[in-house]
Amino acid sequence: MEAVKLGGDSCFINLTGELITSDEKPLLEACRPVVKGGPAFVILGLAGVSRINGLGASMLVKLYVLFRKRGRRMLFCGVGRHYREVLQITGLARVAPVFAERDEALAFAGITGKNAKLPESEPVKAEDTVNWAAPVPELFVPEVPPEAWKINVGGRRAVGPVDGFGQLWQKTYRLPVDRPDITPEDVIIALKHNFPDFQPDYNKFYPGPRGIAPGEVVLIDSKTPGGPVSTGVMVLYADELSFTFITPQGHPESGWVTFSAFRENGKVIAQIQGLARANDPVYEAAFRVVGSEMQIRIWRHVLTSLAGHLKVPADITVEPLVIDSALRWGQAGNVWYNAQIRTLLYWPFRRLFR
């Protein structure tokens, strides 16, 4: 990473290599505001990036939110076809302009005469093209067991953390796997193969025919204090070290959750990290009363099940963090798609027909 100050509070950041961590702090520090007034753009160069996973996408979303709170607009440049699609499916392309060439981004920001002083990156080939789901206008429901409700997913659009109504939360759950014979790849294999079985009994997951693979839809039937809810998720990203689910319109949250495993200080860590906001005002109220605690119990249960499967102690830590406390009233109309309300309306008819 190289950062160069431009005019006013503007900054160019040349990203290289792999974006596979959700830590946005180095980029925020590299582009700290110096003066007030004048142009206020942050231009991210992606030409030298070879891989972005779900955690890297989370980092980019948090940068967008935090730079916006500082009154600065984020742009992308050096973006080829593949990463343009990644920015589309994550929603970032709808809130941050995307340019193929750096000069186009500089011109958009009204910055001239700086090109020769900016770091150069030779375009590199993306190594993650098979790991990302393709952008689709709406989700398709796969063949699943007959007991699955199969509602509130088909025909819906995938929505991420840049959508939604409520406060933007990052919640991180960690489990140390203290066994030298277990690798991060082993942890992800265990999660992928046993994901429905690792859920609490009130949470039913129904993966599609290909399991947890990019673009596959996983249906969810759950029981909550507010009644049953039928929804689902799409596999946004998947490789041997992580996978990410993104939510559809009407899901309790608008965002995604990433399951990953890595080595830290010589020890394997299994991690679940969500980056999401409540989809509408009804869900936001529910999360503040009981939903947030219920969500924490669900993901703690999944990691506890994983610990039992791997035969390690369930020493789980939970770190909730508010990224953006503002409510987005322009998204209040999302309540039209509320999966909880629609499930409650559908429930009597389902019981009647059964």
Task: Give the span between the Cα atoms of 45 and 2, in whole angstroms.
Answer: 10
CB 44 within 8 A of CB 76: yes
Q: pLDDT tens for residues 200-252? A: 999 999 998 899 999 999 999 999 998 999 999 999 999 999 999 999 999 99
Give the distance from CA 221 to its chain's centroid.
21
Three-state DSSP class for residue 37: coil
Among 226, 172, 223, CA closest to 200: 223
Q: What is the pLDDT of residue 144?
A: 85
User: Structure tokens of 269?
Assistant: 């860590």
Q: What is the pLDDT of residue 122?
A: 81
Distances (CA, A) of 315 to 184, 295, 301, 306: 17, 18, 12, 11
Q: What is the pTM of this model?
A: 0.95
List of E strands, 31-155: 41-52, 73-77
Residue 143: predicted pLDDT: 86
**Rounded (5°) CA angle 141-53-86:** 65
Residue type at 123? P
The token pair at 346 is 């559908």
Concatenated DSSP letters of 139-164: -------TTS---S-TTPPEE-TTSS
- At residue 117, the pLDDT reads 73
Q: Which domains does the chain have, with CATH numbers?
A: 2-117 (3.30.750.24), 158-353 (3.30.530.20)
Report the pLDDT value the prediction gives residue 36, as an integer from 0 to 100.
Answer: 60
Given this model, what pLDDT does residue 9 score? 81
pLDDT tens, position by position, 157-178: 999 999 999 999 999 999 999 9
Below-70 pLDDT ranges, the chain:
34-39, 113-116, 350-354
